[in-house]
Amino acid sequence: MFSCCFPKREGSGHKSWWREGVIRRLRADMLKELVDNLVPAHLRRDPFFVPAFLAIYRRFATTRQVLDLLFLRYQSFLPDSEEDEQNKSALSSILETWLLQYPGDFCQHPDMDNLKQIVAYAFLNLSDSDIILQACRLWAQ
């Protein structure tokens, strides 16, 4: 069925390259949707979503991918916006939880790029939070 949609290739697996591409795209879309839901879930006081995500995301994404998507989604905040203040507070809480419960996600590499990325983001956007202090504690360990 739908054989006209699959380019013919020599040997076995001519459909597998297409399937792999579709799976990769679905994973990317799924990851973005999950990351985009972290802050809203926290604001809804959903007790399961953030802990479950932090526990299992490594099965389908890297820490860097999650941080990149999260920081892209919340790349800037308006100064006097109550909604943005709530988002910043939720984001701070999520990142603090992540740092405390899964410190290995940020200290895997000798240069600690993931930890540096959090510190840089926090300096720019979350200066009122304890994230920088927690990151420095991790760095010192």
pLDDT at 107 (0 to 100): 82
Note whether 59 and 24 are within 8 A (CB). no
Q: What's the CATH number where 79 sits?
A: 1.20.870.10
Range of the domain at 70: 14-140
Residue 6 lies in a domain: no
Residue 82 lies in a domain: yes
Q: Against a cut of 0.85, is the pTM above it?
A: no
pLDDT at 3 (0 to 100): 45
- Cα 19 to Cα 7, 25, 100, distances in angstroms: 12, 10, 38
Mean pLDDT per 10-residue interval, the chain, length 141 residues: 46 57 64 96 97 94 96 94 96 96 85 90 91 86 76
pLDDT at 7 (0 to 100): 47
pLDDT at 22 (0 to 100): 52
Residue 90 lies in a domain: yes
